[in-house]
Amino acid sequence: MKRNTVKEVYESIKNPMECEDVLNFLESLYQRSAVPMVNANEFIPNVPRDIDIESALLDGYCDQKKSEMTGMPQLENYLWNLWRQNMLNSYKEDEDVKRLQNLLTKITFPCSNDEMKELEQCPNFKKYVWKKEGMDTNAHFLCSRNLHALDGKTMSIQHQLMMNLESSDVAFLTYEFISYCEEMQLPYYIWIPKESSKIRTVEIGADSENLCTYLEILRKIQKEHPEIAKRCGRPPIFSGKIDEWIGYVSVVVGTSPHTLFRMQEKRLMEYFNDVTVECLNWLDENKMEKMLDDKQREVTVLEYLTQTQTLATKGDLGYTLRQHYTEVASCFPALRKIWREKLQKSFHDSHLWDEKICFRPEIKDIVMKDHIEEEQCREFFERHSNEPWDSYYLIRMLPESLGKKQVLFPDGTTGELQRYIEEVMTDYIPSGGQLPLWNGEVVRVDQFVKDVVLFEGQYRYHGNIEKMISSSVNVDRFHDFPFQEKNVQEKESLVRHESENVILKRMYQLLLQMKPNQLKSYAGSQSGLESIKELQKMELTEEKDIQLRNEMIEILQSEQERKAKKM
């Protein structure tokens, strides 16, 4: 599923409180957070807990592995030289910057201690240096603005993606992610753990404009390196799961997801205290009910609790109940039902994060805005279903949030998608609004923009619409679909040659993928004979294409001759 808007991200994430593994984890946390009681209904205030709930919520699923974070020197080398190159290319009229530039022309990474000391003596070195320390955290943060000599706007972070990585994958995933962002000219803000840190959670900050693109990049990395996602641990407990390995938390501008976990910690402590009293009341009300003990003897609830010495006296009943909650709840399913219903109701009733506790309230406004825009697009299409498509019509068929999205233009500059459609895509919009794909499907051009132009069109084709069309659209059937008349006249020759060029490459890829036996069978078949005729008819202009065509003909003809000799 492609995620093109915050609404689609919101709808794809299940409420963490509906996940069985989350409830099981919180149940075990309830046991470990036992606080002594004076009596059944009164807790001693401010008594230290047996467990740090905030840390448990952040890294409760983390395996405290001792393996080292390999690849960090190589990552630092890449980042240092990226920063160095951007500093050298900076046009800031600042004497301190010029002094830094003069020094950096003589220095590459790793640099000597003396060279580093000389750099550090530049008055503005700390301001411009790429590597920053997080305040009171076990993490560094990597910001594109710092790596680009403070060029570009500061990102307003509203969302955070969190991955509990294997130690050896931290540097590699960070490098891959930054490489894609640099290639697509996207801003980024990443927290990576220090090597001394016990946890290995990488956090990627995002604004609403870039959130879906970041997710698409992570999905591409997962596709190319599936072992990374497989080795990844479960994201923090109150984050929403995406693709089973990415945690999502929305954040208030100027804060971090840790503030959410601290708020949830307070709510959990209040809940833990309340639910203990409720469970004790249930036990008291049902103390004369009959049950079977571990020896299958019929006893009352009170007799069972007394004889097993699980809950010895009323004075410490609540304390020991929490210590042995799972054991007691296994005998009394009603207790577990009470516990879970009250837990879910407690979070739902608070309305702090609505029914999905990983989303802040303001995300609801964004989701509603996306929904309204989608409805407006649908209604517009229904009212004008027979109208010929043009750039105005295509823009109206896209939500405003996408129209404002920054994309790459073929000349390397960036601008809003709306302007890209008007200036770059106009000649490629079929008047019927339909594009035929190589796999035989036909898609509306607005969906093509969402699925191709905004994703592969950025990191693979760098905004080049001709390459996007030739790789995705069946160029051979291009003119089966009505285009604006001027497009047909201006592009007819280009499209014909482009069609033959693309078909040639696809035929070559098919031949390369064939095993020897398959190639022999294909060459001697009717399809093979027709392929040779097709290749011979092609009107190719590029010398390399002509040479490739001749090689393919030679391969097929030699296989046919070999088969004829055997016969």
Grade residue 278 by pLDDT with cuts at 50, 70 and 90. confident
**Per-residue pLDDT reduced to its tens digit, 137-187:** 677 889 999 898 888 778 888 899 999 998 889 999 999 999 999 988 889
Computed over every residue of the chain, the mean pLDDT equals 78
Grade residue 65 by pLDDT with cuts at 50, 70 and 90. low
Six-digit token string for 487: 């497009």
Residue 543 identity: E
Grade residue 230 by pLDDT with cuts at 50, 70 and 90. very high
Grade residue 361 by pLDDT with cuts at 50, 70 and 90. confident
Q: Please report the pLDDT score of residue 44 as a whole number.
A: 40
pLDDT at 265 over 60: yes
Grade residue 41 by pLDDT with cuts at 50, 70 and 90. very low
pLDDT at 87 over 80: yes
Contact (Cβ atoms closer than 8 angstroms) between residue 483 and residue 430: yes
333-350 and 20-32 helices cross at what angle (nearest 10)? 100
pLDDT at 435 over 60: yes
Grade residue 221 by pLDDT with cuts at 50, 70 and 90. very high
**Per-residue pLDDT reduced to its tens digit, 455-493:** 888 878 889 998 888 888 876 665 555 554 444 444 444
C-alpha to C-alpha distance for 545 and 551, rounded to whole angstroms: 10
Q: Which of 273, 275, 283, 278 is CA-nearest to residue 328?
A: 283
Q: Please report the pLDDT score of residue 436 as a whole number.
A: 85
Contact (Cβ atoms closer than 8 angstroms) between residue 26 and residue 43: no
Helix, coil or strand: residue 7: helix
Q: Which of 257, 185, 176 is CA-nearest to residue 218?
A: 176
Task: Work out the end-to-end distance of the chain between its first and last CA atoms, rounded to an integer number of angstroms.
Answer: 51
Q: Please report the pLDDT score of residue 315 as a whole number.
A: 46
Q: Please report the pLDDT score of residue 270 as a whole number.
A: 76
Q: Please report the pLDDT score of residue 51 as a whole number.
A: 62
Grade residue 45 by pLDDT with cuts at 50, 70 and 90. very low
Residue tagged 């084709």 (tokens): 461
Q: Please report the pLDDT score of residue 492 as a whole number.
A: 42
C-alpha to C-alpha distance for 56 and 32, rounded to whole angstroms: 10
Q: Please report the pLDDT score of residue 2 as a whole number.
A: 66
C-alpha to C-alpha distance for 119 and 215, rounded to whole angstroms: 37
Q: Please report the pLDDT score of residue 355 as a whole number.
A: 60
**Per-residue pLDDT reduced to its tens digit, 375-391:** 888 888 888 888 888 88
- Using a pLDDT cut of 90, give the percent of the chain over it: 13
Among 51-65, 236-250, 365-379, 398-412, the range scoring the smallest mean pLDDT is 51-65
CA 341 to chain centre: 32
What value, to the nearest 5°, has the Cα angle with vertex 130 and ends 126 and 132? 70
**Per-residue pLDDT reduced to its tens digit, 492-502:** 444 444 455 66
Grade residue 415 by pLDDT with cuts at 50, 70 and 90. very high
Kindly state the average pLDDT of the residues 195-223: 87
Q: Which of 514, 510, 502 is CA-nearest to residue 538?
A: 502
CB atoms within 10 A of CB 378: 11
The DSSP annotation for 357-412 comes to TTS-HHHHHHHHHHHHHHHHHHHHHHHTTTSPP-HHHHHHTS-HHHHT-EEE-TTS
- Using a pLDDT cut of 70, give the percent of the chain over it: 76
